[in-house]
Amino acid sequence: MPEIIKIDLNDEPLFRSQIVKIKRVLNLGGVMAFPTDTFYGLGATVSNREAISRIFKIKQRSKDKPLLALVASAYQTKTLTKEIIPTAEILIDKLWPGPLTILFSAHLDLPSQLTAGSGKIGVRQPANAMVCKLLSGIGFPITATSANISGTENITTAEEVEKIFGDQIDLIVDGGPTPGGKESTVLDVTLSPPLLIREGAISREEIDAVLETPCIVVP
């Protein structure tokens, strides 16, 4: 069975030691389940091809569906992308941290499995304080696809994760129940005007309010 680490942000020395253990698992190519600002996700380093392949297998996810990445700061986005165009800079400044996933042109060094051969990478900086501290402690971007079997309901507790995945994953970071809610909005800024792929927690109106050119919607 996977090791379970119960996070307590009120115990700083314990949290620091937990981060060391989490980083070790990820650096060795491990896959962990962890709480995000909505549901539990499956995390691995974005540069490890074998770990990413494991996530696709664990989730029974189609290989033509890319994985998004979570970052602790806008600065980390630079390691994932070819460039950050002015439109993206505006969105990052106004709507991050928050439930907006931005699609960028992917850095050429990223594994093709991560992008599903699309040449694009979805990136989000979450707003939840615990998730942000976890990501900051880890120190590098990680994947954040939902911790469920593709096509099934999303998961909000560590207990559900353990029940469904068992020893298919290496580690469960238990941060307590997650709040659920709407998924993140997904916006492709590689196109001009930007293309709204999925309208979620951030509305089209909120996006248009910060951009000079309104986005367009997937027909």
E-state strands within 76-164: 100-105, 120-124, 142-143, 145-146
Query: Residues 6 or more apart from 84 whose CB is under 8 A from it?
Result: 77, 78, 92, 104
Q: Which sign does the torsion angle of CA 174, 179, 180, 186 carry?
A: negative
Indicate the length of the chain as a whole number.
219
Domains and CATH numbers, the chain: 3-217 (3.90.870.10)
pTM of the model: 0.93
Whose CA is closest to 192, among 94, 39, 45, 88? 88
- Per-residue confidence in pLDDT tens, the chain, 219 aa: 899 999 988 999 999 999 999 999 999 999 999 999 899 999 999 999 999 999 999 999 999 999 999 999 989 999 999 999 999 999 999 999 999 999 999 999 999 999 999 999 999 999 988 899 999 999 999 999 999 999 999 999 999 999 999 999 999 999 999 999 999 999 999 999 999 999 999 999 999 999 988 999 977
